[in-house]
Amino acid sequence: MFKRDKKKNFSLSNSNVKKSVINEESAVNRLPLDKTLLIIIIILGVFGLVILFSASLFSGYSDKSDAYFYVKKQLLALIFGLIVMFVLIRIDYHIFKKLSLLFLIFSIILLILVFIPGIRAEYATSYSWIVVFGKSFQVAEAVKLFLIFYLAAWVETKQDDLKVFSTGLMPFLVVMSFIGFLLLLEPDLGTFMLVFIIALSMYFVAGGNMKQLMILFLVAIIGLFFILNRAGNVDGNSNNDTGLIKDYQLTRIKCLQDPDFDKDHCYQVNQSLIAIGSGGLLGRGLGNSLQKYNYLPEVWADSIFPVIAEELGFIGALVLLFIYLFIFIKGAFIAKRAPDVYGRSLAIGISVWIFSQAFLNIGGMINLIPMTGIPLPFISAGGTSLLILLISCGILLNIGRQGIKK
């Protein structure tokens, strides 16, 4: 009896020594905080505040009787967001894994709340906001992050089953189709596109079946063909709000094909192109945009990129594009060095989110793709968007801190 206990104690002691050695080796191989990425994120947030100050002064005064209306709200979100980001840099990202199912449930609840009168806040042509304690809250921004949390945990648990249709792609499509259906009902086609780009990227990186993804891609291409065909038959007087794809969304596609087909429906894209073109190589100078004086709609929101191009020119706009690309590349390296599938999936989801959202916004402004109405990350006015993005960056930097040297 004594010998057996002695052997067991020796075995436990030996096991603890091994674990200690592994932990020490892991600690030695861990990476320091990516200060370059941190500084770039802070610079982008401050730059966004400066550009918003320039772009929104006239609109704030004319629409809200306060020239600094948008800037003050953005400044508060930036300060609070940076504080939360620094806190999250020091908190182990694995704590979110235990809450993954709750995040999915919260996402569904939030997407349903936008349809309830008294809670929802209608803005422009969609129900994407809710009112909480008298403050508006953009549901889609939280849903993006919540969905990334859920999918990162899900692909890790399904690691060995992702290549099988019944246990991989099928349940993935069931969840995403339900989320997508709610987004299209709002309707929020831009967020719908962005969420699917993020989800498919995470699924692919986690080891999804390539053949199944290619089939899914072909189905999407066929669906896009029918949408484009329908858009070709839309005229400027169409006002059909039935179905998941509305006529005003189809006119945006029509404006992509022919910006001159209807001066009212294509007004925003044409004014955007005028602003970008008039900026030239070096721009008119910070604060000297002309299009922001009620020519360009929603200049503080999704139309802020044309003001950047007009004031800072092609060079300034190009630098901004490279900053978004830099964040994506840094995020990809963090994902590559992540200690587990969960961390890798989170990092990829966040990195693809920031870069894809910037692409969808800028692509719409230069008429490369249809306008989506989604904000330019870190720059467009919107406290919810900025706060959630900074939270995501804090998590990304924490994953980087726990990365393994390779």
In angstroms, the CA 381 to CA 53 distance is: 10
Distance CA 384, CA 398 (A): 21
Residues whose CB falls within 8 Å of the CB of residue 240, separated by 6 or more in sequence, listed in order: 246, 247
**Cα separation, 228 vs 254, whole angstroms:** 8
Which residues have CB under 8 Å from 65's CB, separation 6+? none
Q: Is 235 helix (H, G, I), strand (E, B) or coil?
A: coil
Torsion of CA 182, 204, 89, 392, to 10 degrees: -30
pLDDT value of position 214 = 86
- Two structure tokens written together for 334: 């963090």
Against a cut of 0.75, is the pTM above it? yes
Q: Give residue 373's pLDDT.
A: 84
As a whole-number percent, the residues of the chain with pLDDT over 90 amount to: 55
- Give the three-class secondary structure for 369: coil
Closest CA to 151 of 390, 349, 391: 349
Is the distance from CB of 39 to CB of 323 less than 8 angstroms? no
pLDDT of residue 146: 96
Which residues, given as ranges, of the chain have pLDDT below 70?
1-29, 122-127, 133-134, 225-248, 406
What digits encode the pLDDT tens for the residues 77-93?
999 999 999 999 999 99
Residue bearing tokens 């291409």: 221
Cα 335 from Cα 348, distance rounded (Å): 6
User: 375 and 301 in contact (C-beta within 8 Å)?
Assistant: yes
Q: Where are the beta strands (DSSP E) in 54-167?
A: 120-123, 126-132, 135-138
> What letter does residue 340 receive in the DSSP assignment?
S
> Which tens digits make up the pLDDT trace of 20-69?
333 434 444 577 899 999 999 999 999 999 999 999 999 998 888 888 99
Pairing of strands 135-138, 126-132: antiparallel
**Which tokens belong to 345?**
């999936």
pLDDT, residue 10, reads 39
pLDDT for the residue 371: 85
Taking the mean position of all CA atoms in its chain, how far away is CA 149? Answer: 13
Which of 250, 271, 275, 234 shows the shortest CA–CA distance to 189? 250
